[in-house]
Amino acid sequence: MFATLTPPEPDKIFRLTGAFAADPRPDKVDLLVGLYRDAEGRTPVMAAVKDAERRILETQDTKAYLGFAGDQGFVDGMRDLLLGEVVPAARVAGIATVGGTSALRQVLEMVRVVTPDARVWISDPSWPIHAGMAGHLGFDCTSYRYLDRATNGLDRDGMIEDLRMAKAGDVIVLHGCCHNPSGADLSLTDWEEVAAICLQTGAIPLIDVAYQGFGAGLAEDMAGPRLLAQRLPTVLLAASCSKNFGLYRDRAGAAFAITQDGAPRDAAQGHLVAMNRNSFSFPPDHGARIVDVILHDATLRQAWEAELTAMRATILRNRRALADAMRAETGSDRFGALAAHQGMFSLIGATPQQVDTLREDHAVYVVGDGRMNVAGLSPEAIPRVARALAVVMG
- Least separation, in Å, of the C-beta of 349 and ligand LMR? 18
Q: Report d(CA 146, CA 196) in Å as an integer.
A: 18
Convert 366-392 to b/e letters by CB count within 10 Å (16 or more is b). Answer: bbbbbbbbbbbbbeebbebbbbbbbeb
Residues in the chain: 394
Residue 332 · residue 390 · CB < 8 Å? no
Tell me: does residue 107 bind ligand LMR (CB under 6 A): no
**CB-CB neighbours of 354 under 10 Å:** 17
The residue number with the shortest CB distance to ligand LMR is 34
Report the DSSP pairing between strands 92-98 and 29-31: unpaired
| Site track 179-218 with ligand LMR (rule: CB under 6 A), x = hit | -x--------------------------------------
**Which 304-343 residues touch ligand LMR, going by CB under 6 A?**
none
Is 34 a binding residue for ligand LMR by CB under 6 A? The answer is yes
Alpha-carbon span 113 to 111, nearest angstrom = 5
Kindly state the smallest distance separating residue 78's Cβ from ligand LMR, in Å.
18
- Contact with ligand LMR (CB under 6 A) among 74, 121, 127, 146: 127
Per-residue binding string, ligand LMR, 132-171, x by CB under 6 A, is ----------------------------------------
Ranges assigned E (strand) in 140-249: 140-145, 147-148, 153-154, 171-175, 204-209, 235-240
388, 362 Cβ separation under 8 angstroms: yes
Cβ of residue 149: shortest distance to ligand LMR, in angstroms?
20
Pair type for strands 119-124 and 171-175: parallel
Q: Which of 16, 29, 31, 33 binds ligand LMR (CB under 6 A)?
A: 33
Q: What residues act catalytically?
A: 127, 208, 210, 243
Task: Select the residue interacting with ligand LMR from 13, 229, 258, 372 (CB under 6 A).
Answer: 13
* Residue 375 makes contact with ligand LMR by CB under 6 A: no
List residues binding ligand LMR (CB under 6 A): 13, 33-34, 127, 180
